[in-house]
């Protein structure tokens, strides 16, 4: 469990020192990690569509399909470029970007960006915050998203690749966010492709995967965005060990100092959200 590897920091220098320590600074090949900042350290690692939800998996998927299909239908009337209807990875990235409840959970490849999210929310200034640290390749290896690779010499290697959302494995995981799937009750109507898809679809059922977004805009780029796809109600903190998940605690009394230190380093509101609205908001708060 994550709490076997939990530390507390009070300054930006301590935070950077801790992230370097977790990353294995000085090693020949340092493991890459993703980060997620929580303004309240008691919050769970749960995607928005699951928060507060009580019911079966199928009821959850039905709720999500209501959101996604309604979004697609109404977006069709907007005079802006849009993905094809069956480009589900692109659509889900857009929906997450505009805060529609989805099965995606946001992460960043930047510890400083994640720290900003942990300390900048004024509403939770009296709450201790935290930054979660995830090893995405370790997670994907644990979830056994694909069969291991076997060499000609008989050596076996676990597949721990971190794909983008358009990859076939991730595409199967997000399919039920848009469409329901089950084999036809009429056996004679089933095709070989149906059986193949059903087998592969069920292989990723109930799993969590780390992946990269497929649409890049200035916000995604600046935030060094990444996702976990939750094809299940299993919580990361309930099954990840310390090789996959760690946590850095930020006492609430250190938030203002950390926010100032981040601003000195250029990690500000207008950097995190590079658009006119946030630029104006940032200027008006000076």
Decide if 18 is inside a domain: yes
Bridge partners (DSSP) listed for residue 149: 157
Considering the chain, what percentage of its residues have pLDDT values greater than 70?
Answer: 95
Per-residue pLDDT, 194: 80
What is the count of structural domains for the chain? 1
pLDDT band at 208 (very low <50, low <70, confident <90, very high): very high
Decide if 144 is inside a domain: yes
| Chain segment 178-195, per-residue pLDDT in tens | 988 877 778 888 888 887
Decide if 209 is inside a domain: yes
> What gap in Å lies between CA 140 and CA 163, rounded to an integer?
10
Decide if 274 is inside a domain: no
> Whole domain around residue 45: which residue ranges?
2-258
Per-residue pLDDT, 26: 47
Decide if 264 is inside a domain: no
Decide if 45 is inside a domain: yes
Decide if 79 is inside a domain: yes
Any residues with CB less than 8 A from the CB of 38 and at least 6 apart, and which? 117, 118, 129, 130, 131, 132
pLDDT band at 2 (very low <50, low <70, confident <90, very high): low
Using H for helix, E for strand and C for coil, what is the string for the chain? CHHHCEEECCCHHHHHHHHHHHHCCCCCCCCCCEEEEECCCCCCCCCHHHCCCCCCHHHHHHHHHHHHHHHHHHHCCCCCCCCCCCCHHHHHHHHHHCCCCCCEEEEECCHHHHHHHHHCCHHHCCCCEEEEEECHHHHHHHHCCCCCEECCCCCEECCCCCCECCCHHHHHHHHHHCCCCCCCCCHHHCCHHHHHHHHHHHHCCCCEEEEECCCCCHHHHHCCEEEEEECCCCCHHHHCCCCCEEEEEECHHHHHHHHHHHHHCCCCHHHHCCCHHHHHHHHHCC
Decide if 17 is inside a domain: yes
Per-residue pLDDT, 286: 61
Look at 71-80, 99-108, 127-136 and tell me which has the smallest mean pLDDT: 71-80
- Does 235 have pLDDT greater than 90? yes
Structure tokens, 114: 């994640």
- Does 51 have pLDDT greater than 60? yes
């Amino acid at each position: 469990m994550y709490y076997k590897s939990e530390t507390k920091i009070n300054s930006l220098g301590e935070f950077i020192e801790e992230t370097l320590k977790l990353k294995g600074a000085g090693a020949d090949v340092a493991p890459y990690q993703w980060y997620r900042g929580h303004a309240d350290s008691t919050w769970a690692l749960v995607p928005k569509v699951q928060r507060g939800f009580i019911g079966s998996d199928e009821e959850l998927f039905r709720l999500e399909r209501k959101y996604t299909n309604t979004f697609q239908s109404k977006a069709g009337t907007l005079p802006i470029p849009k993905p094809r209807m069956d480009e589900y990875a692109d659509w889900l990235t857009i929906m997450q970007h505009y805060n529609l409840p989805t099965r995606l959970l946001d992460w960043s490849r930047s510890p400083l960006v994640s720290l900003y999210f942990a300390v900048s929310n004024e509403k939770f200034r009296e709450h201790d915050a935290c930054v979660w640290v995830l090893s995405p390749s370790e997670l994907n290896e644990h979830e056994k998203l694909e069969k291991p690779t076997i060499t000609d010499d008989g050596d076996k290697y676990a597949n721990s690749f971190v794909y983008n959302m358009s990859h076939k494995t991730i595409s199967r995981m997000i399919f039920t966010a848009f469409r329901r799937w089950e084999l036809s009750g009429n056996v004679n109507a089933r095709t070989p492709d149906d059986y193949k898809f059903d087998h592969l679809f069920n292989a990723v059922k109930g799993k969590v995967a780390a992946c990269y977004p497929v649409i890049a805009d200035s916000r995604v780029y600046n935030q060094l965005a990444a996702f976990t796809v939750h094809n299940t109600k299993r919580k990361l903190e309930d099954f990840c060990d310390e090789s996959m998940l760690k946590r850095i605690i930020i006492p609430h009394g250190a938030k203002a100092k950390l926010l100032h230190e981040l601003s000195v380093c250029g990690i500000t509101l207008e950097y995190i959200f590079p658009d006119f609205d946030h630029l104006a908001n940032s200027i008006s708060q000076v």
